[in-house]
A and B are shown apart, each in its own frame.
Chain A
């Protein structure tokens, strides 16, 4: 008799209108599995705002609030305040926003919410561009990527400069729990979210969610690419608990970032020297993370 490694209860209905092989859909599924039925989700304008389809249908078995782009942090603060006023303690309040709605547009509301030390979860599912509106560049787009607003063409006009480091921004707010999660590692994903249930105060999760449509790769490679992002150290899995770093997965066999980049059409144009630059950046960040873990070990 087989056993499953993550909770079996399904709170997301099939039939939502996400694209084939959507990482964001998987992220929502795992998050609800970890948190259970007593959850309220607030979703700003992002892919998840349209995945329920047209008006009278719902894709989740939990209450969901659709809010404006910039107010996810404010709306979850409000929901928590209302629950406190009614004396309800056992409900998890979650803000589930895309990367554009977090790192660019929603950052001030989120910053305010975590600064007030509201007891909330915030999950940012990172598909590295504004995918819902048609692949426009966001602050979370990695260096070298093609998007519709950084069309490579003949001039080499791809996204310049590195990706905004949202986890470090949240760590700088000195919040109780920050973690990176990845859809290719569901057990780790569910464990980290469930861990947040025992922590009072804001919890921030950076979830890596590949988007086959925007990243220009076949949908069946979705999980494979998410795994490669961790194994090439471009997206390390770690958690920061009250300033103490802990790396939750150290790749046994490191793969070069070139293997990860070559699977995706959005990096097809990159010349060798830019790939080397990305490799150096990844190595540097990994080294930095190892040092941070060592430095904060006895906090």
Chain B
């Protein structure tokens, strides 16, 4: 774990604002009302869902035969993947 940067005076500040952490710490998954669930029996690995995800929240898992997996920490549940899937193997279920 990186130690948090803690300036003591104005002299420690950089000349320009520095962004030091990616937005992945932002758990946008809590926005979700409907949860996409992939049926791996029907999935043909066409990667159309991966291609159209506006949040880059569908990842290709290299180790497991390049299957697609949904990153539930960041998926906002927009359902574009379910709508665009040609074999309709993604279904949206209400979050409990």
Contacts and interface: CB of A to CB of B under 8 A. Distances in A.
A23 interface: yes
Interface in B17-51: 17-28, 31, 44-47, 50-51
Contacts of A212: 78
Q: Is the interface of A mostly helix, strand, loop or mixed?
A: loop
Interface in B40-96: 44-47, 50-52, 54-57, 60, 65-66, 71, 73-74, 76-80, 82-84
A18 B55 contact: yes
A274 interface: no
Nearest to A63: B19
Contacts of A57: 19, 21-23, 25-26
B19 A16 contact: no
Nearest to B60: A8
Given A20-B77, A59-B23, A2 B47 contact: yes
A14 B28 CA distance: 8
A15, A57, A212, A221: which has the most chain B beta carbons within 10 Å? A15
B54 A224 contact: no
A186 B51 CA distance: 8
A191 to B, nearest CB: 14
A224 B85 CA distance: 12
Interface string A177-194: 000000000100000000
B46, B52, B54: which has the most chain A beta carbons within 10 Å? B54
A222 interface: yes
Interface stretch (A48-56, A102-110, A156-164, A275-283): A48-56
Contacts of A23: 54
A23 B53 CA distance: 10
A4 B47 contact: yes
Interface of A: 1-6, 8, 10, 12-18, 20-23, 25-26, 29, 52-53, 55-59, 61, 186, 212, 218-224
5 contacts: A10-B56, A15-B26, A25-B54, A26-B52, A58-B19
